[in-house]
Amino acid sequence: MLRFVVRYFRWLAHVPFATSLFDAFLLSWTAIFHPRRLQAIEAMEAAVLQLPGVSPARHRYGGQGFVCAGQEFAHVHGNGLLDVKLTRERAARFVAQGRAAPHHVFGPSAWISFQLHTPADCANAMILLQAGLPEQGS
Amino acid sequence: MLAGNAAGGLACLLAFRLVSLAHDAPAVLIYPSLFLVPFTIGLVAAWVWRPLQLGIGLSLLHSLLCTVVGLLAAYLAFREGVVCLLIVSPILYLGTVAGALAGRVWFRSKNDRINFCLGPLLLLAVAGEPSLRGAHESVVTDEIRIAAPPAKVWPHVLAFPAIREEPRYWLFRVGLPYPVDTTNGGNFVGADRACRFSGGAVFKEKVAELVPEKRLTFDIVEVPRDPELVGHLDAHRGQFELRDNGDGTTTLIGRTWYSLRVRPAVYFDWWTHDIFRAVHLRVMRHIQQLAESGEN
């Protein structure tokens, strides 16, 4: 559903609150139909906020963003799709290792996507998030 | 936690009051969107819940409690019927959850200026939305095939004795009034009719069109003051149409025209169609039984 909306309703990002509302719906949907995925999102969110210097933020296209040193380096959408910003080389390496997929919108780029399904996926998500953590004080 | 619920409710009450003043109409006539209102309640509640730093699961649980409190308030303060509350509860919960989850993300970030703008904007949306929407009118049509010619079906369309069969539709079983019998004050345009529902509710009707063995159309002129029926939708007209299939059978078509006051229309239209379909089929199956058994 997220892919469909991103592809055909991208203009909604310019409507105030529309993306937040849509993401809240995605999260509600996940809560009702994919409770294990919801657990995974919650566990991952709690873990990433424990990382030094990381604070929550609104992601522009809806979802929970994570900021460190003033930069958004990752966000998770309501359907459990985690996007992390790395360097192009690191992104390509993680994709080649099968730890992540190319970004769901940009394709091969510095961004990678990883779909959370169960709390067991949190370990891999944390590896990606730690790799994406910007240098603090830079 | 209850403070969040109370704050959300207060915000919406304020919006209703503004709307009712602006429209110079009693508050009971204003029907704000039943998605926008719980969304606002959820959002305001999320703002109050900020210090609790709730996780997603707890936000869902708190929103559920918010919804239950809201339903109880609607039952006690607005005397809403149990079936209405049952129908409205999924969208109420969804709206509250959506508001609470959106607020959870919004109010965690430290952009106070944007957060500050959100309140007035939402109040404006809740207050202004009813004046932006037009009337939503629709018709529900159902048909059944009866193994009898129109001449045998027609008398039972005009009036029929009490339906003894227990209701099958689940909302009828939990208290929604269901049709019991119809009386007829005469077979001419302008004649009074009455359709009696369970619990003593009576819909008064007036014949608007009568073409023997083909069509009976009636205007619904008075609706009973039942909390399950009043205010949310207006059924204005009903019709039975008989089509001779030429093989000794008749297709009986039942129609009801209505206007919906509650929003979002997509959600409530689905329910309205489902309920009217159950009403139509209960009456039409009874007519079918009478016509096929040759009773008079």
- Count of residues in chain B: 296
**A28–B98 C-beta distance less than 8 A:** yes
Residues in B closer than 8 angstroms to A16, CB to CB, are 121
**Stretch B258-272: mean pLDDT, rounded?**
85
pTM: 0.73
Asked, for residue A137, whether it belongs to a domain, the answer is: no
SS (H, E, C) B43-56: HHHHHHHHHHCCCH
Distance CA A75, CA A125 (A): 11
Write out pLDDT tens, residues B171-220: 999 888 899 998 888 889 999 999 999 988 889 999 999 999 999 999 99
Q: How buried is residue B21: exposed, middle or buried, by Cβ count under 10 Å (0-12/13-18/19+)? A: exposed
Same domain for B152 and B260, yes or no, is yes
Number of domains in chain B: 2
Question: What's the token pair of residue A45?
Answer: 């969110």
* Residue B218's CATH number: 3.30.530.20
Give the residue from B132, B157, B176 where a domain finishes. B132
Mean pLDDT of A3-27: 75
The domain that contains A125 carries what CATH number? 3.90.1150
- Tokens in use for B3? 């403070």
Query: Do B114 and B169 fall within a single domain?
Result: no
Q: Is the predicted pLDDT of residue B231 greater than 80, yes or no? A: no
The residue from B132, B165, B190 where one domain ends is B132
B115 and B154 housed in the same domain: no
Q: Are residues B59 and B14 in the same domain?
A: yes
Q: Give A-chain residues touching B57 at CB under 8 angstroms.
A: 31, 38-39, 42
Q: What is the pLDDT of residue B175?
A: 85
Residues of B in contact with A57 (CB under 8 A): 108-109
**CA pair distance B237, B282, nearest whole angstrom:** 18
Instruction: Please write the tens of the pLDDT for every residue from B66-122.
Output: 888 888 888 887 777 788 888 888 888 888 888 888 888 888 766 555 666 666 676
Pair (B76, B190) in one structural domain? no
Pick from B7, B27, B9: nearest CA to B17? B27
Q: How many CA atoms lie within 13 A of B115 on its CB side?
A: 19
Q: Are the beta carbons of A116 and A82 closer than 8 angstroms?
A: yes
Average pLDDT over residues B126-148: 82
Question: Is B78 found in the same domain as B17?
Answer: yes
Higher pLDDT, B7 or A39: A39
Instruction: Check if the interface score ipTM surpasses 0.85.
Output: no
* CA B17 distance to own-chain centroid: 23
More confident residue, B235 or A122: A122
**b/e per residue A6-20 (b: at least 16 CB within 10 A):** beeeeeeeeeebebb
B288 plus B159 within the same structural domain: yes
Alpha-carbon distance of B206 to B87, in angstroms, equals 30
- Identify residues of A whose CB sits under 8 angstroms from chain B CBs: 16-17, 20-21, 23-25, 27-28, 31, 38-39, 41-42, 45-46, 55-58, 63-65, 78
For the segment A45-70, the average pLDDT, to the nearest whole number, is 90
Residue B98: list chain A partners with CB under 8 A: 21, 24-25, 28
Judge if B80 and B164 occupy the same domain.
no
Q: For residue A38, what pLDDT is reported?
A: 93
Residue A53 within a domain: yes
Query: Are B30 and B147 found together in one domain?
Result: no
Asked if B233 contacts B176 with a C-beta cutoff of 8 angstroms, the reply is no
* Per-chain mean pLDDT for chain A: 88
**Owning domain of residue A35:** 2-132
pLDDT value of position B225? 73
pLDDT at res. A97: 95
Question: B73-82, B217-226, B247-256: which has the minimum mean pLDDT?
Answer: B73-82
Instruction: Look up the domain containing B103 and give its range.
Output: 2-132
Distance from CA of B203 to the nearest CA of A (A): 40
Helix axes B112-132, B36-49, angle to 10 degrees: 160
What is the model's pLDDT at position B3? 64
Residue B98 C-alpha, separation from nearest chain A C-alpha, in angstroms: 5
Has residue A138 been placed in a domain?
no
Mutation choice for A interface testing from B105, B107, B109, B118 by most A CBs within 10 A: B105
d(CA A43, nearest CA chain B) in Å? 9
Q: How many CB pairs under 8 A join A and B?
A: 55
If DSSP codes are grouped into helix, strand and coil, which group holds residue A110?
strand
